[in-house]
Amino acid sequence: MLDVNGTREAHLQAFQQAPALFSAPGRVNIIGEHTDYAEGFVMPAAIDFETIAAISPRTDGQVVIASQNFNETVTHSLQQLPEKARHHWSDYPLGVLWALREKGIDVPAFSLTLKGDVPLGAGLSSSASVEVATISALLSLTGKEIPLPEMAQLCRRAENVYVGASTGIMDQFIACCGKENHALLLDCRSLDYKLAPIPANIAIVISNTMVKHSHAGGEYNTRRAEVEEGTRILHAHRPEIKFLRDATVDDLAKWGSEMPPDVLKRTRHVITEDDRTVAAAAALEAGDLKTLGRLMYEAHASYRDDFEGSCPEADILVDLASKEAGVIGARLTGGGFGGCTVNLVEEAHATTFIENLRKGYHAATGISADIYRCHASDGVHRIAE
């Protein structure tokens, strides 16, 4: 847990004003990988790692943003803000300010202090956490309120257009709309969502393979192209198929023979992953953890065999996890080709699970994994005085 009072005091000392404080979480995707750009379904959960944003108004026309993590402060005139990102941590809060101004919301001069404990480089969406904490803080100075889904869209626009990172809506959406002890089933087409309960005695354990393959970017682009080719082939037979969200396993049975082998596999992964994600939410609602676990393992197998987006290290982690007591399910999460696995574990077994997973992974690979024990948490909120 972050030291909220420490951030409050640091802001007060630096800027001689007591701040309002806001918190936004990181996230992990429980199931639903590479379905977002097919306008399909994803099911993330907010986690209890967070970014705190402390804010107070200024009277000198300046924007001053301090990062406690980087021990650095940037200052700009409100009338001369950077027009584009400069590959610096401040791009994310400045991008949110840009997005609000582009929408016609005038934000007055301010001092902003940021502090986060979302692990960097672990695929737990530290950037969206910063963006969502920042937009809530900035809006508090304007007297305006924006619905949470619209806040998520503005933060995504900040990251896509200002920062220049191509991301979907999931990260910002769950940081805005997450709820304690719940996952969130998000329809990436309509942005309709519903919450699915995760029992309070279930820990979310995230294990970092510590691997990031150098070819991941190129492989990702290849996968996207293959998914689009599969969509085009199905669209030729059923014009209403604009994205794989609109396709079914029956469509694949009828026309999959027209696809090159790799295209068929990628297309099958996306179509079946959509089905698994909706079924996983239904399993949570019904309290059917056995079915949820089976769907997670099936999702990993599809990611590994059809999407071919796993790696040996992730496969080892999932295999090790599956043999431990109290484990409901495990799979590779995130963009693939390295990164983290997500494990749902009964709280009573979580400590032993983590110890055994760490030892087993090191014995198998020689790699010491970073392992994070989390719980499903609330989305963005103001921190009480």
Catalytic residue annotation: 171
Residue 42 pairs with which residues in a beta bridge?
Answer: 186
Q: How far apart are CA 332 and CA 309, in angstroms?
A: 9
Helices (H), the chain: 4-15, 91-102, 126-140, 148-157, 170-177, 216-237, 249-255, 261-285, 289-305, 312-322, 347-365
Q: Are 30 and 43 in contact (CB under 8 A)?
A: yes
Q: How far apart are CA 259 and CA 15, in angstroms?
A: 62
DSSP annotation of 376: B
Look at the block and give the residue holding tokens 């399910």.
Answer: 329
Q: How far apart are CA 132 and CA 149, in angstroms?
A: 11
Pick from 52, 49, 48, 50: nearest CA to 7? 52
**Taking the CB of residue 260, how many other CB atoms lie within 10 A of it?**
12
Q: Are 34 and 309 in contact (CB under 8 A)?
A: yes
Burial label, 75 (beta-carbon count in 10 A; 0-12, 13-18, 19+): exposed
Q: How far apart are CA 27 and CA 119, in angstroms?
A: 11
The tokens describing 215, both together, are 């070819």
The tokens describing 192, both together, are 């309709």
The tokens describing 163, both together, are 């920062």
Q: How far apart are CA 358 and CA 145, in angstroms?
A: 45
Q: Are 200 and 344 in contact (CB under 8 A)?
A: no
Cα 60 to its chain centre, rounded Å, is 36
Q: Are 347 and 202 in contact (CB under 8 A)?
A: yes
Q: Are 56 and 95 in contact (CB under 8 A)?
A: no
Burial label, 271 (beta-carbon count in 10 A; 0-12, 13-18, 19+): buried
Q: Are 144 and 41 in contact (CB under 8 A)?
A: no
